Amino acid sequence: MQKQENLSKNQKIILDLIEKSSGPLKAYSILFNVKKQGIKAPLQVYRALDKLIEIGKIHKIESRNAFVACKNSNCQVSKATAFSICENCEDVTEVSNLKLSKYLSNFADKSGMKYNKYNLEFFGLCKNCKK
Amino acid sequence: MQKQENLSKNQKIILDLIEKSSGPLKAYSILFNVKKQGIKAPLQVYRALDKLIEIGKIHKIESRNAFVACKNSNCQVSKATAFSICENCEDVTEVSNLKLSKYLSNFADKSGMKYNKYNLEFFGLCKNCKK
DNA sequence: TTAATTATGTTATATTATTACACAGCGTTA
DNA sequence: TAACGCTGTGTAATAATATAACATAATTAA
Ligand SMILES: [Zn+2]
Ligand SMILES: [Zn+2]
Ligand SMILES: [Zn+2]
Ligand SMILES: [Zn+2]
């Protein structure tokens, strides 16, 4: 967990919830869990999520439409992300591998396209589930 | 385009549409476009999409909730996919790079997780849009 | 202190995807 | 034949995810 001084009230509430969660959270489950703190509408959640993603505090797991806290302290923006996802228990871990991130950040092919961002999702069975 | 002999009527209609499209198609746009061919309900579209993904004829672009035909003839199942996505014109290209796919298919880290599938999405500006 | 920017609150609505149920076609096999 | 499993279809209803539009407040910058 890092400093949250620049975050607004709703952003703090939602980041706090996501950071304390043991797994990915979905937007409407977040909404349900912060209703007692005065956040009443989906849009309030999505706005906070957008901001938190923008500053790299959380990431969206695209294949699950769910959100996790960034576990990579030097991941200031969500522009180079990799996750491993257990297809059985749906546990998600942020992959933090310097070789991998260098390889992907520098990846270029003959398409002439300049990449400035990537997101990678690995799927499989986690240690517990593959038994 | 490949043989479609084992596909059902709805699957053929929908694969044909996606293969002829110049870019990714969204499920409800597919539905709109196949109404004249008798496909009337979202579920008919999603069922065909699921099957086509399963057999590797199409892929889902997770960050866009859209579907593209597989452009990689040896991509029999959707278990190792990579795409480049232009954030301006939303054009999508399937990245087909042997070194990349080998690197990712063999990727292992200390988590003890065994990966059997991955999906990678690169973002940036395409040749046309970066001018 | 005006203006610009960022965040909030609220209602309504759009978009994406699934559940549930009934039934048809086809190959296997008892 | 009939019973069965399997795959696909058709239809209605609904769930889940996300955004538009508008009004207002709080914060920051000039
Ligand atoms: Zn991160
Ligand atoms: Zn697991
Ligand atoms: Zn492919
Ligand atoms: Zn472009």
Higher pLDDT, B31 or A5: B31
CATH superfamily of A80-130: Ferric-uptake regulator, C-terminal dimerisarion domain (3.30.1490.190)
Per-residue burial over B41-58, b = 16 or more CB atoms within 10 Å of its CB, e = otherwise: eeebbeebbebbbeebbb
- Mean pLDDT, chain B, whole residue set: 92
CA-nearest residue to A123 within chain B is: B117
Q: Which residues pair with B59 in a beta bridge?
A: B68
Residues B52 and A110: their CA atoms lie apart, in Å, by: 28
| Strand nucleotide closest to residue A42 (CA to C1') | D18
Domains B4-69 and B80-130 share a fold: no
In this predicted structure, what is the pLDDT of residue B32?
98
The answer to whether some atom of strand C lies closer than 7 Å to the beta carbon of A64 is: no
The helix-helix angle for B9-20 and B42-54 (nearest 10°) equals: 80
What's residue A78's pLDDT? 75
Nearest-5° angle of CA A46, CA B86, CA B78?
85
Choose from B122, B128, B131 for mutation: most chain A CBs within 10 A. B122
Per-residue pLDDT of A65-90, as tens digits, reads 999 999 987 666 779 999 999 999 99
CATH 3.10.20.600 fits B4-69, yes or no: no
Pairwise CB contact (< 8 Å): A113 & B84: yes
Domain boundaries, chain B: 4-69, 80-130
What share of chain B has pLDDT > 70, as a percent?
Answer: 94
- Asked if the Cβ–Cβ distance from B113 to A84 is below 8 Å, we say yes
Rounded Cα gap, residues B25 and B64, in angstroms: 9
For residue range B59-83, what is the model confidence (pLDDT) as tens digits?
999 999 999 999 987 666 779 999 9
Q: Structure pTM?
A: 0.94
Q: For residue A86, which ligand has an atom nearest its CA?
A: 2
CA distance A98 to B70: 30
Q: What is the mean pLDDT of residues A48-66?
A: 97
